Amino acid sequence: MIRMFHVRKTFGASVALRDINLHIRKGEFAFITGPSGAGKTTLLRLIFGADRPTSGHILIDGINLGRISKKRLDYLRRKVGFVFQDFKLLPNKTVFENVAIALEVMGEGPSYVRKKTHQTLRSLGLEKKETLFPLQLSGGEQQRVAIARAIVKNPMLLLADEPTGNLDPDLTKEIMLLFKTIHMKGTTVVIATHNKGLLDMTAQRKILLRRGEILGEA
3-state secondary structure of 187: coil
Please check whether residue 104 is in contact with residue 149, taking contact to mean a CB–CB distance below 8 angstroms. no
Q: Which helix (H) or strand (E) holds 145?
A: helix 139-151
Of the candidates 102, 83, 78, the one whose C-alpha atom is nearest the C-alpha of residue 142 is 83
pTM to 2 decimal places? 0.93
3-state secondary structure of 80: strand
pLDDT of residue 168: 78
pLDDT of residue 198: 80
Cα(2)–Cα(8) distance, rounded to whole angstroms? 16
Of the candidates 165, 10, 129, 148, the one whose C-alpha atom is nearest the C-alpha of residue 82 is 148
Q: How far is CA 117 from CA 33, 46, 56, 78, 123, in A?
A: 32, 28, 38, 16, 10
Please check whether residue 150 is in contact with residue 81, taking contact to mean a CB–CB distance below 8 angstroms. yes
For the chain (218 residues), the mean pLDDT of every run of 10, in chain order, is 97 96 96 94 96 96 92 91 92 98 95 97 94 95 94 95 82 86 94 86 91 92
Cα(6)–Cα(27) distance, rounded to whole angstroms? 23
Look at domain 28-50+74-217 and name its CATH class: alpha beta
pLDDT of residue 135: 96
| Reduced 3-state DSSP string for 189-205 | EEEEECCHHHHHCCCCE
Report the amino acid identity of residue 19. Answer: D
pLDDT of residue 28: 96
